[in-house]
Amino acid sequence: MINERYYPLLATLAVCALLYGYGIYEHRAFSDTYVLGNLLTDNAFLIVTAIGMTFVILSGGIDLSVGSMIAFVGVLMAELVGGFGLHPLAAVVIAMIVGTGFGGFMGYLINKFDIQPFIITLAGMFFLRGMCFVINLDSVPISHSFVSDFGSFRIPLPGRGWLSASALVMLAAVIVGIVIAHYTRFGRNVYAIGGDRQSAELLGIPVGRTTVQVYALSGLFSSLAGVVFAFYTASAYPLAAVGVELDAIAAVVIGGTLLTGGMGFVIGTFFGGIIMGVIQTLISFDGSLNSWWTKIMIGALLFGFIVLQRLITRSFSGLRAGAG
C-alpha cells in the first residue's frame, strides 16, 4: 500500500503529466525541448519563491511579502550596481543578506508577539513595496557585462532547447530545498510544527527559533528569486512582481502541500510551478483563448487540490481540528 503522505504528490504528478501530454497531443511543437527550456526559465523566479513559501506553509504560516521582496531586491541591486558601482555579485550578496534579515525580522515579530503571520507579512509586503519607491521611482536597466553574460549563458539540450542560467539557479535551489526539508533536523521540525504546534512544543522542539528561521529562509529564497528576476529582465522596476505571493501560494498548494501545514514536498512545489507554466504555455499555443483563462484553470485546480487535501486529512484519527 502506498503511504498516504504521497497521495497529493501523486495527484500533482498526474496533473502535470496529463497537461503536458495534452500539449504534445494537440501541438506537435510542444514536445520540443525548447518548450521545456522556456518553462524552466520563465518560471524560475516563481519556483524559487515558492520553495521558500513551501517551508512557510509547511510550518503552518504564510508569507505575503515575497512579491514585494522580489521587486525590492531588484531595485536595491540596480542602485548598488548603477549608483554605487558595485560588482553585481557583491550586490547579490548584500541583497540576499538584507532579504534574509528582513524575513528573520518578520519571523521574530510573529514569534515574539504571537501575531498572525498573515498580518505581519502583509505589513512586510506594504513596507517593502514602499521602500522600492524610496530608492527609485522608475524602471531602470541594470547594465553590466556580468548581467548580460548571465542572460546569454545557455547549456544546449537535445533538440532546439537550452537551459538558461536562471533555470540552473532554480534547479539548484530545488535541490537545496529538498535537502533542507528532508535531511536536516530544522526541516523535520518545520513539518512537526505545522502538523501540531502544541505537540511539537511538548516534544521539545525549539518552536520559536524554528519559526524565525522559517521566515528568514523564505526571505532568502524570495531575495534569490529577486536576483534571478532582475538578471532575467536585466532591469529593476518598483511595480515588478505584483501578486507573485499569490502565484507562489498557488504553486505550493497545486504541488500538494497541505495549506494547514505539516505535509508536503519541495519537489511537489517544483511541479506545481511547472503546471502553472504549462497552463500558460498551452493557452498561448492555442492563440484563440484570452490569457485570463490561465487564472481560471489555476483556480479550478486549486479547488480540486484543496478538496483532495481535506479528504486525506479527514481520514486521520487524532488530527486536531484546526491544528496549525
The Cα 179–Cα 48 span in angstroms is: 15
Nearest to 266 by CA among 177, 152, 136: 177
Distances (CA, A) of 240 to 81, 117, 190, 235: 18, 23, 30, 10
Cβ count within 10 A of residue 104: 19
Instruction: Give the binding range for another protein (CB under 8 A) out of 20-28, 30-38, 170-178, 260-268.
Output: 260-268
Distances (CA, A) of 41 to 36, 75, 192, 229: 9, 21, 33, 10
Q: Is 194 in the site for another protein (CB under 8 A)?
A: yes
Candidates 116, 148, 198, 284; binder of another protein (CB under 8 A) is 198
Judged by beta carbon, residue 4 or residue 286, the one nearer another protein is: 4
CB-side neighbour CA atoms (13 Å) of 210: 26
Q: Is 22 in the site for another protein (CB under 8 A)?
A: no
Cβ count within 10 A of residue 277: 24
Instruction: Give the binding range for another protein (CB under 8 A) out of 49-57, 188-196, 212-220, 295-303.
Output: 188-196
- Cell numbers given for 21: 501530454
Q: Is 112 in the site for another protein (CB under 8 A)?
A: no
Q: Is 262 in the site for another protein (CB under 8 A)?
A: yes
Cβ count within 10 A of residue 144: 20
Cβ count within 10 A of residue 200: 23
Number of amino acids touching another protein (CB under 8 A): 35
- Cell numbers given for 117: 503571520
Q: Is 311 in the site for another protein (CB under 8 A)?
A: no
Candidates 69, 147, 205, 283; binder of another protein (CB under 8 A) is 205
Q: Is 310 in the site for another protein (CB under 8 A)?
A: no
Q: Is 319 in the site for another protein (CB under 8 A)?
A: yes
Judged by beta carbon, residue 175 or residue 296, the one nearer another protein is: 175
Q: Is 209 in the site for another protein (CB under 8 A)?
A: no
- Judged on CB neighbours under 10 Å (0-12, 13-18, 19+), 75 is buried
Residue 200 Cβ, how far from another protein at the closest point, in Å?
A: 6
Residue 241 Cβ, how far from another protein at the closest point, in Å?
A: 31
Fill in the amino acid letter for 324.
G
Q: Is 263 in the site for another protein (CB under 8 A)?
A: yes
Candidates 8, 195, 219, 226; binder of another protein (CB under 8 A) is 195
Q: Is 309 in the site for another protein (CB under 8 A)?
A: no
Give residues in contact with another protein (CB under 8 A): 3-5, 179, 182-185, 188-189, 191-192, 194-196, 198-205, 258, 261-263, 313, 315-320, 323
